[in-house]
A and B are shown apart, each in its own frame.
Chain A
Amino acid sequence: MRSISLISAVILVFALFSCDNGSVSPIDEPDTYDFQRNGSSSVSFTGQTTRIQMAEELAASLKDFDNASTELLLEMFRNETESGDDADPYSSADLNASDKSIKSKVAASQDYYSSNTAESAVIKADFESWINAQVNEVFPAQNVEATAGTAGQIADGSSARYINAKGLEYDQMVIKGLIGALMTDQALNNYLGTAVLDEGNNREDNDNGVLVEGKNYTNMEHKWDEAYGYLYGTSVDPADPNATIGGDDSFLNKYIGRAEGDEDFAGIAAEIYNAFKLGRAAIVAGDYTLRDEQAEIIKEKVSEIIGIRAVYYLQQAKFILDQSNPDYGAAFHDLSEGYGFIYSLMFTRKPNTDAPYFTKSEVDALIAKLLGDGENGLWDVTPTTLDELSSEIADAFKFTVEQAGS
């Protein structure tokens, strides 16, 4: 442990120096994410806040055995009826009044999906199939005891989890899957990509202070803010979000907080936040090199969050399954969360490339392996398989299985 921290410290020192040497910038990193023009804020990400809130309502309703139906849940996903008419599926009137939706931004980034609509459609269909299956497979088995090959409920300590015949919780797959498919994909592969930041006359307009009609921001500023909103859009104080990091949503924010709480990764929340602040200041100053350097830091660190959590849950489950009398419910819950994070790996972004850490087909292979030790999926999975998957994922990143697994 000590040697690991020592190595991390050395790496950190190197990282600091290499950052400093990159560009000696006259631009100061602001204290908070507070940017003003003409005496009022130029920051806006209401659409991101709205989608996080929609996803929260969907997440809660996925286990509402008494009131949820496929119709209601799919309306929450699409914010429209099956036939495309306006729907009011949410408990919040503001959300019902919104014309935004979760589905339209799932696997919908410019960089990854603008010319890959086929794969985007497959991913959207995955989410709809999990939602359908929750109602059609798991709801009817609410009061059935789950066994290998049979959906139902299973104890996880003193609470009950609701799983399918292979031991998976569909609600966890949806929630953790959205962290990749919605928040991460939109932030890293859409708004932080040059295709979107520099679209059309964005640079020229930004250089000349040309504002979006009726708004207090330039187009480029707004795009950057929208990336920011997918991480901090429901923060208590969005200008200073790390004060409550991890407690503000059930998605990306939550797991930045979890990684931050692991001493092996402490500091990652500040790295992400600082890069957002400096990048936004760079846009104001018209320094696009500095902006893009910050975007790369964010891409790397947010991707790392997903990798860390995938390995974390695989290792937690392995630890439980290694016991002489394993708490299967607890292990399956970890693995259902892990499934969602593995799924999310395809939306990560290796810095300075156009590629994720794992492509869709590589993710498909990881998942097939997770469920492939026997005909009953998680009921059959072996600790060896979980270790192999963990190593495979950790090897693609700069952390070790041991660091992420605790």
Chain B
Amino acid sequence: MRFLKITCLSLLIMGFFGCDNGPTDPQNMDSFDRKAMLANWADNIIIPAYSDFATKTESLKNAGTAFNEETSQENLDLLRNAFKDAYRSWQKVSMFAIGKAEEETVREYFNIFPVDVEDLKENISSTSYNLSLPSEFDQQGFPALDYLLFGLGENNDDFIQAFTDPSLGENRRNYLLDLVNRIDELTDMVLTDWQSGFRDEFVNNSANSATASVDRLVNDYIFYYEKHLRAGKVGIPAGVFSGSPEAGLVEALYAEDFNRELLLIALDAVQDFFNGKHYDGSQDAVGLDDYLDELETTKNEENLSKLINDQFDAARTAIEGLNMNLNQQVVDDNISMLSAYDQLQLNVVLLKVDMLQALNINVDFVDADGD
């Protein structure tokens, strides 16, 4: 519905321009250097982010291997830290579902939560599972590791016990190893693709059409922000869509004091991308904010880029006021969780309606009707 409206509107707008400008191609109305923006995205944000993530997934793999070989408390601690580092780093690449990441549906394999604990246990006891099947999405990736490393028991002894248990200990260790190996393998695949040709393909596809890189990545970006960050991390556990809050649906349910941190990292990453900020933080280079400024896009007589940045800041302030355990926040005071959601939602409107209209980009995803 929304998409069609926007399409109609865009068609209408394009229609007007088409008439006025005569022979001028309405696709190239503005003189903004999209290619420079794409190059900045690829070279200074996406590839560095994936390189960093790949380093973390390799450490995770190594820590998993060490723990498999020697199941000690020390190795468990190292593994847990490696898991947290990789999960943090994942928050900065999750939005880039383009190229191999899209083809291989990496986000589905890495971060569908809540983990299906019952099916995961069945995989462990049967040892017959094929992690590449869609039906296994919610039994692998970070949510499954979160459960195995933080949810299996109460205290440290329980974990060592679980992984050394004579009947299922070896199965658990092997399953864990399969999970960390798979994360590393898929990540390498995505990074290698960017480094071996996809980067140029991406940057050179710099027109303004439904299949062009800017249109596609901006769509992926907004989809991620709307469905995964706003809804997945906040709205769904807060019960925005179902009407009843469910604390158990938060990201990283088992590792304590961790999910608010992940949410804040994700929010920073989304805002930094909007501003074209280098991954290493060294420079604020060309991004969507500059594109909007070049087009002199305003709303209610304010710069749209400023409104969007202000709104990101407002959402951050709201989230910083929440419990470090968002699940606890939902239980204790869900109204504050809903308020944080509302702050995130306000930017969906600015990004998806106002920004896309200004940039002449059509939304390429629809809301599934849920059946």
Contacts and interface: CB of A to CB of B under 8 A. Distances in A.
Given A1-B8, A145-B132, A160 B368 contact: no
Interface string B83-102: 00000000000000000001
B145 to A, nearest CB: 18
A402 B5 CA distance: 10
A158 B108 contact: yes
B148 interface: no
- Helix, strand, loop or mixed for chain A's interface? mixed
A157 B368 contact: yes
Interface string B103-140: 10100100010000000000000000010111101100
Contact of B134 (A155, A319, A322, A406): A155
B1 A160 contact: no
Contact of B1 (A250, A262, A330): A262
B168 interface: no
B61 interface: no
Contacts of B1: 262-263, 406
B8 A325 contact: no
A396 to B, nearest CB: 22
A145 B103 contact: no
Contacts of A160: 133-135, 137
Interface in B1-16: 1, 3-5, 8-9
Q: Which of A258, A405, A406 has the most CB of B within 10 A?
A: A406
Contacts, number: 59
A154 interface: yes
B339 interface: no
B4 A406 contact: yes
Interface string B1-35: 10111001100000000000000000000000000
B369 interface: yes
B182 interface: no
A330 B367 CA distance: 11
Contacts of A263: 1
A145 B102 contact: no
A140 B210 CA distance: 39
A143 interface: yes
Q: Which of B132, B133, B134, B138 has the most CB of A within 10 A?
A: B134
A251 to B, nearest CB: 11
Nearest to B367: A316
Interface string A115-144: 000000000000000000000000000110
Contacts of B368: 156-157, 330
A258 B368 CA distance: 12
Given A160-B133, A160-B137, A406-B1, A258 B108 contact: no
B288 to A, nearest CB: 20
A405 B134 contact: no
A244 to B, nearest CB: 13
Contacts of B135: 142-143, 153, 160
Given A262-B1, A324-B211, A155 B105 contact: yes
B310 interface: no
B364 interface: yes
Interface in B295-335: none
A158 B107 CA distance: 9
Q: Which of A154, A156, A323, A402 has the most CB of B within 10 A?
A: A323
A45 to B, nearest CB: 25
Contact of A316 (B112, B138, B366): B366
Given A143-B130, A158-B138, 5 more contacts: A155-B137, A254-B371, A263-B1, A319-B366, A325-B102
Shortest Cβ-Cβ A-B pairs, 7 listed: A155-B134, A160-B134, A406-B4, A160-B135, A406-B1, A158-B112, A324-B211
26 contacts: A1-B4, A1-B8, A143-B130, A153-B133, A153-B134, A154-B134, A155-B105, A155-B108, A155-B137, A156-B134, A158-B108, A158-B112, A254-B371, A258-B369, A316-B366, A319-B3, A319-B366, A322-B210, A323-B364, A325-B102, A329-B134, A330-B368, A402-B4, A405-B4, A406-B4, A406-B5
